Structures are given as C-alpha cells and as structure tokens.
Amino acid sequence: MRKRFYILLSSLFIVFTAYTQENSNDSGYIVYTVVPKMMNNHIYERTSDTAIINQYIRDYETKLTKYFRLSFNKKESFYESANTNSNNPQQVISKDGSVNGEVEFSGASKSEYYTNLETAKWLSYKGEYAVEKSIDTIKTSWNISEETKVILGFTCNKATKIQDINHRKKITGKDKVTTKVKSKTTVWFTTEMPAKLGPAQYNGFPGMVLEVENYAVKIIAEKISLNPDVVIDINKHKDKKIITSEEHKKIINNKYGLKN
C-alpha cells in the first residue's frame, strides 16, 4: 500500500514538474530600452571629425533613450512607457516583477499597445481612442533566416522585412521633399518563450521578440522576469473607444482641416 502511495506521489511530481517546465515561460515582464536613431544628418555637414560625430550621436541617444515594460501572459500583452530617473534598466522592476518606487508608468499615450493573440488584433492608444489593427501575417511578409544569437540567455532567431517608407529631406533653400525609400526592419525572437508577443506592434512571430531595429529606433530587451510572484495586470484601457486606422486618419484630418 505504502509502495503504491509513493509510486503515485512520484508520478504526480513528475507530471507537475513537466507541466511547470512547459509553462514556465508563459507569463512575466520584460523591460526594454528604446534608443532613437539620429534622423537628421546635419552634424555631418558641420564637421568631418569622427570623434565629435560619435560623441554627438552618443549624447543624442543617451538624452532620448527611454524605458518600456511589456506585461504578458499566453494570450495577451500590454506595452507601456516607464518614466524613471534611473539610468539602470535593472532597477525598473524587481525580481518578482513588481514596480520599484522610482518608476512611474504613464497613463494612456501613443506609446501604449495592447495585443490579443486570440482575436489576432492589437490596439495602439491615441488620446481617447484605441486604434485597432490586425496582427501581421509573419509567414508572408517577413523572411525568417537560420541565423541565431543569444539575448539574455535566450537563443533568438532573426527575421527581416524590407518595405517602402516616406522619407522627408530638406533641400538647402527649398521646402522639404518626400521620397520613397527602402527601409529594413530586423527582429530577433526566441521560441524558448512561447508567447508570440513583443514590444509595440511587433507580435505574431513564432516566439517572444527581444530585439527590434529599423531606420528610426532600436528596441532592446534589458531585463526579463518570468512567472513573478505577483498577479500580472494586463491593462486593456477598456474605457477607450475602439476605431480603425482609417477612422483615426479622418479624425486627424478633420481636426487640422486636411483632405481625407
């Protein structure tokens, strides 16, 4: 009888351990640093001194670098900006995932995103509205290569996408002109964290996105807290009016007297 009891207990322990390991990376928090790239190249017109140029770029990036936090579970996530006086991303959240005292997460802003994998939709919050979009079809629009690298202990795969964007450049003595240019976006995601989520609108990949780089910004995961001992609150901003991208465009055009 006792032998059967121990066999049953051992079996339950094995099942529980396997379940825990399988689901150990399904929820948590990730802190990202968001580093903007210098869009205006006027510094190159003023000097050819490499040391001065590099220092200027470092100062520019340091001044504008911000922290963001992704709260996630298997099905949904919320990405929000964090205002902090700390220059150390390790201090943005504690080991259990809770927010440290020096951090204050912002209210609704254009830097907040809610993603729901079950509905295949994501929302970006703009004032009183939540602009709804569909999750990108990764297989058809992104090229996933066999190249890998390790980020914070997680093996990541590389995905790239090239698309046309509008580029505005001021010609000396003339108004700015808009041209179409090719822009490359590189994403690094890990299947070791099965939630198909990531910062901002970068979701729907085969795993969690830990790094993004495009022509305007670089987003880098700096700290990961998995299965914290606190309840993860996915802030959905249910009080926002959900509208489409086209509806939002019309609202902005009407506000400024532009043609739809």
Q: How far is CA 92 from the centre of its chain?
A: 16
Residue 19 has pLDDT above 50, yes or no: no
**pLDDT given for residue 115 in this prediction:** 93
Q: Can you tell me the mean pLDDT for 49-75?
A: 78
**pLDDT given for residue 245 in this prediction:** 86
Q: Can you tell me the mean pLDDT for 21-49?
A: 71
Q: Can you tell me the mean pLDDT for 56-71?
A: 77
Residue 157 has pLDDT above 70, yes or no: yes
Domain of 250?
Answer: 24-255
The string of DSSP codes covering 135-189 is PP-HHHH-EEEEEEEEETTEEEEEEEEEEEEEEEEEPTTS-EEEEEEEEEEEEEE
Q: Can you tell me the mean pLDDT for 248-259?
A: 82
Determine, yes or no, domain membership for 3: no
User: Model-level pTM?
Assistant: 0.73
Determine, yes or no, domain membership for 86: yes
Please provide the average confidence, as pLDDT, over all residues in the chain. 75
Determine, yes or no, domain membership for 13: no
Determine, yes or no, domain membership for 40: yes
Highest mean pLDDT pick, 6-10, 24-28, 175-179: 24-28
Count of the separate structural domains present in the chain = 1
- Are the CB atoms for 35 and 65 separated by under 8 Å? yes
Determine, yes or no, domain membership for 18: no
Q: Residue 210's pLDDT band (boundaries 50, 70, 90)?
A: very high
Determine, yes or no, domain membership for 122: yes
- The C-alpha R_g of the chain, in whole angstroms, comes to 22
How large a percentage of the chain has pLDDT more than 70? 62
Determine, yes or no, domain membership for 1: no
**pLDDT given for residue 101 in this prediction:** 38
Q: Residue 109's pLDDT band (boundaries 50, 70, 90)?
A: very low
CA dihedral 181, 149, 38, 107 (to 10 degrees): 100
Q: Give the span between the Cα atoms of 139 and 136, in whole angstroms.
A: 9
Residue 54 has pLDDT above 80, yes or no: no
From 36, 226, 203, 29, select the one nearest 124 (Cα to Cα).
Answer: 203
Determine, yes or no, domain membership for 129: yes
Residues forming beta bridges with residue 30, ordered by sequence position: 70, 224
Q: Give the span between the Cα atoms of 133 and 118, in whole angstroms.
A: 14
Q: Give the span between the Cα atoms of 92 and 187, in whole angstroms.
A: 23
Where is average pLDDT lowest: 76-85, 169-178, 243-252? 169-178
Q: State pLDDT tens for residues 175-201.
A: 556 677 788 999 999 999 988 999 999
**pLDDT given for residue 92 in this prediction:** 46
